Structure 1
Amino acid sequence: MLFYKKITAIAASIFYIFVNCAFYNSIFHEYTNDKLFQMTTCFGIIEVFFWITLFFSIFQLEDKSVKKIDKTREEREKEAQRDMRDLVICFFIFMASLICVDISRVILTSSPYINDIASTVGSYTVFIGGTRILFIFSAIIFIFITASRRNALLIVISAINIIVSVMIWLDFDANITAIMRIIIAILAIIYYLKNDIIKFDKRNRISNRKN
């Protein structure tokens, strides 16, 4: 099972690198609107899948920010439940805002007409700007989640993602953000190769049996 999890996660990261390379190249080429629509749609789908796999791997990691010395089993279980609740909330907020950002990217990139409307009509501007702010908020929450796992690679990934989210909000989603996302994908591959989810599960079961 671990083998298939890692292969799926690494494959998602590799595809994420490819679509970001394509997004990077699209900035320097004049593609048709239909071509841009296909590229940005594919980019959005793979980006969502990439972050889902990354979040699912984080679900398997233990919160190391809480000291478990001199605590009863019930207290540890309550803390674990609160941690899981916070992680689930972060996951849904992050994914919802990411999907909205991806949809707005598809629309704004592939349709100059809608791009003009979005820049003039207040409701469109509020929606696009609001989802981007929500994405920044979720990225900030995400860095606290990764910091609680005490994993350097995840912390770096989340820090870069905050920069990306801010640049998207500033409407600078271009070659620089593509490069940053490629770096995130490379770090994610290293993270998947270095971490063994099954080993963590075994340790967790052993500790539970002792308690």
Structure 2
Amino acid sequence: MSKVVILGTAHGSNVAGKCSPDGRFREYRFSREIISMLKPRLESLGLTVFVDMPQDVVPLPMSTELSQRCKIVNGICGKYGKENCVYVSIHVNAAGGDGKWHDARGFAVYVSRSCSSSSKRLAKLLCDLALVRGLRGNRSVPGEHYWQAGFYVLKHTVCPAVLSENLFQDNRADVEFLMSPSGKEAVAALHLDALKQYFGINQ
């Protein structure tokens, strides 16, 4: 049976807020660009790859968007077997949500509070690789090397699932890095290498 990666996009262009204070950086665009880099690389390894909502505009209200994402993921799991699937939702963090620049910076990855050991294993791989690559930022890292939260898409999908927060859209230095070719490559390569390790791929 195929090993399946389901990549989750950030909220769409029609969701207010999700941008840097100066408006130059848009989370929806960055997430989809990283996924466009990551998907063919994963497929070249023999993995089957889906994207939950590739379109820029997502259904509203947000409760509808989130429930539809989970329906998409769980439908794929029903076809391929949840034990053969993993869901990776790719986002960018924000410290304030107030349209101002903040000091917090760095990488984080989240799992559900009631998640499987497989979710924790992938999350730890992502965090450890981020730390090795200098993406820690300036915040303390939990001893487990992942954060736990009640995010809807983590709670209501049936396969192992993680949500990555790739630096901060309201930190000036993080935004400059994320908008650069080297920053985008770093984020895409981080996810690629973590998934290779998760699936035991040595290529």
In the superposition, the TM-score normalised over structure 2's length comes to 0.30
Q: Which is bigger in relative contact order (C-alpha 8 A, separation at least 6)?
A: 1
More helix by share: 1
More strand by share: 2
In the superposition, the TM-score normalised over structure 1's length comes to 0.29
